[in-house]
Amino acid sequence: MAHIQDLLQEISLLSSTSATLDWDQETYSPARSVAHRAKQLAYLQGKIHKLQTSDEFCDGLASLDPANQRELTHRYERATKLPQKLVERDSETSSLAKAAWSEAREKNEFQTFAPHLAKLLEIAREKTGHWGFEDEPYDALLCEYERGAKTREIATLFDSIDTELAEIAAAAVEKSSVIPADFLYGPAPIEAQQTLNREIAESLGFDFAQGRIDTTAHPFCTTLGPADVRLTTRYENNDFASSLFGVMHETGHGLYEQGLPTSEFHLPSGQAVSLGIHESQSRLWENHVGRSRPFWEKWYPRAQQLFPHLSKISLDEFLPAVNRAAYSPIRVEADEATYDLHILLRFKLERALLAGALEVSDVPAAWDDEFE
């Protein structure tokens, strides 16, 4: 029993070290550090893979309680099907791709990212070949995020709601078109945004003795240790709401992570059960709470104090503005009515890419066609 626990603790330490390096790459690391950082992360992932696929790890599984044994056996079986060199190459390629994506986003130039996406796609196909699948390659990757889910079942579900979702979104966007919202945009000093973001996150229950908020190009939440949860956001100097709702979304993720038992951080029982559950928490706080009247009855006076351009805008004018629907090509800025359309679109494109029905070079055109 002690030996498997020692292995799990070592894997946990390596994983949290890897997460820390990854967080640093997406927040503060200098641009020219990327190549070495990618090798660091690949090295750590290789070490983790070696431990997870060892005979000692396998032999120790039987001594665990049924729930942790079940989950770790599943991870062991998945890990043993992948060559260590592939795991390392996947990690290094992903790190380099993140940096390329940031550059491409800044330049609005897909060609900068395309070669990296092609390499990631090649690796994804290799992994599905090693893992195997029941119906199509996408099944093998889906298992990493929602265990037990089948591509055909999700496709059937999405096909059954696609038309109605589009109609709901169109109706919401049309009705929202008459709602004034220009007043939301005005001077929003980053320091003032940081103040409101922190105060609201703390009021929702996020413990800043065990976490923090930093700046990045694409908001995310990550856990670096049993008492170390990092939220990130981005800022526009004339749009406080974009950053705030992003922080509320990531706070939902953070609250879930901070609510897990720290004594079991090295075990599945101390980790998130699925990304689906995770996303349910983030969207709950962002939308059901963050766009509600009771929430803004409490927080609107503080927002007006920090952002004086709102001082002459009543709460009754403000609420419809932050709840209006509008099409956006950026998923994290999509509203409740249009957000699900992003999921349907991405599922369709990812599935086509993996199956070879769509080439990487054709992704921008395919995106534009579907988004229309």
What long-range pairs does 182-187 form, CB within 8 A, spacing at least 24? 183/309, 183/310, 183/313, 183/317, 183/321, 184/239, 184/241, 184/318, 184/321, 184/322, 185/238, 185/239, 186/238, 186/307, 186/309, 186/310, 187/237, 187/238, 187/307, 187/308, 187/309
Report d(CA 255, CA 247) in Å as an integer. Answer: 12
Same domain (yes/no): 355, 249: no
Same domain (yes/no): 345, 272: no
Same domain (yes/no): 124, 144: no
Note whether 330 and 155 are within 8 A (CB). Answer: no
- How much is the pLDDT for 345? 96
Q: Match 């290789």 to its residue by tokens.
A: 46
Where does the pLDDT of residue 338 fall: very low under 50, low under 70, confident under 90, or very high at 90 and above? very high
- 229 pLDDT above the threshold of 80: yes
2-16 burial string, b = 16+ CB within 10 Å, else e?
eebeebbeebbebbb
Report d(CA 316, CA 97) in Å as an integer. Answer: 45
Q: What is the pLDDT of residues 118-170, one digit of tens each?
A: 999 999 999 999 999 989 999 999 999 999 999 999 999 999 999 999 999 99
- H or E segment and range at residue 231: strand 228-233
Same domain (yes/no): 204, 280: yes
Whether residue 156 lies inside any domain: the answer is yes
Report d(CA 3, CA 8) in Å as an integer. Answer: 9
Same domain (yes/no): 232, 355: no
Report d(CA 324, CA 303) in Å as an integer. Answer: 19
In Å, how far from its chain's centre is CA 347?
A: 15
Whether residue 7 lies inside any domain: the answer is yes
Note whether 276 and 240 are within 8 A (CB). Answer: no
Same domain (yes/no): 267, 341: no
Same domain (yes/no): 144, 124: no
In Å, how far from its chain's centre is CA 318?
A: 29
Whether residue 358 lies inside any domain: the answer is yes
133: its two tokens: 């699948």
Given the residues 250, 336, 350, 370, the one annotated as active site: 250
Same domain (yes/no): 277, 296: yes
- 182 pLDDT above the threshold of 50: yes
Angle between helices 293-306 and 190-203 (to 10 degrees): 150
Residue 88 appears among annotated catalytic residues: no
- 207 pLDDT above the threshold of 70: yes
Q: What is the pLDDT of residues 286-337, one digit of tens each?
A: 999 999 999 999 999 999 999 999 999 999 999 999 999 999 998 988 999 9
- How much is the pLDDT for 372? 76
Q: What is the pLDDT of residues 28-54, one digit of tens each?
A: 999 999 999 999 999 999 999 999 999
DSSP annotation string for 180-219:
--GGG-S---HHHHHHHHHHHHHHTT--TTSEEEEE-SS-
Whether residue 9 lies inside any domain: the answer is yes
Q: Which domain holds residue 205?
A: 180-323
- 220 pLDDT above the threshold of 60: yes
Same domain (yes/no): 204, 149: no
- How much is the pLDDT for 371? 86
CA distances from residue 258 to 47, 248, 286 in whole angstroms, order as listed: 27, 15, 17
Residues forming a β-bridge with 230 = 212, 222
- What totals of helices (H) and strands (E) does the chain contain, helices first? 15, 3
Q: Over the chain, what is the mean pLDDT? A: 97
Question: Angle at Cα 68 formed by Cα 87 and Cα 74, nearest 5°?
Answer: 40
- How much is the pLDDT for 205? 99
Whether residue 328 lies inside any domain: the answer is no
Angle between helices 34-52 and 84-107 (to 10 degrees): 150
Question: Angle at Cα 21 formed by Cα 16 and Cα 25, nearest 5°?
Answer: 145
Q: How many structural domains comprise the chain?
A: 3
Same domain (yes/no): 205, 317: yes
41: its two tokens: 């992360």
Average pLDDT over residues 76-102: 98
Secondary structure of residue 143 in the 3-state scheme: coil
Q: Match 């000692």 to its residue by tokens.
A: 56
- 1 pLDDT above the threshold of 70: no
- How much is the pLDDT for 316? 98
Whether residue 34 lies inside any domain: the answer is yes
